[in-house]
Amino acid sequence: MSRFTVRGFAGGLLSGLGHNPVVAVRDFAGDAHWDPAGPQRASLRLRIRATALAVRNDINDKDRREMERVMREEVLETDKYPEIAFESTSASANPKWPRGH
């Protein structure tokens, strides 16, 4: 099983909770393509089950539950939109990245 995290910055509906959420993405599928000879041809596609997002901040359980409720019910509206789809529109390479990493 794979998982990645996304860090958001509180704004809008979550700003009242005073936290910048770190969200674990636990249920996703997709594909990534990389062409070292032509990084601009790289692509990434993801499909994420919206209800599988979980707040991972170091906060008390009450705040975590409320952040997840607001995220699911008021921000993402997971009952109406159960899947999040992402498809990259461009890609680039950073030539300053150390080789071998």
Please name the helix (run of DSSP H) or strand (run of DSSP E) that holds residue 29, with its range, or none: strand 28-33
42: DSSP letter: -
Q: What residues pair up with 46 in beta bridges, in sequence order?
A: 30, 86
Confidence of residue 91 (pLDDT cuts 50, 70, 90): confident
pTM given for the model: 0.70
pLDDT band for 83, please (50, 70, 90 cuts): very high
Among the listed residues 25, 23, 17, the one whose alpha carbon sits nearest the alpha carbon of residue 55: 23
Q: Would you state the structure tokens that stand for residue 78, as one six-digit string?
A: 């997971």
Whether 20 has a pLDDT exceeding 80, the answer reads no
- What are the pLDDT digits (tens) for 41-79? 999 999 999 999 999 888 889 988 988 998 899 889 999
What per-residue confidence (pLDDT) applies to 62?
Answer: 92
What is the spatial distance between Cα 59 and Cα 92, in angstroms, rounded to a whole number? Answer: 36
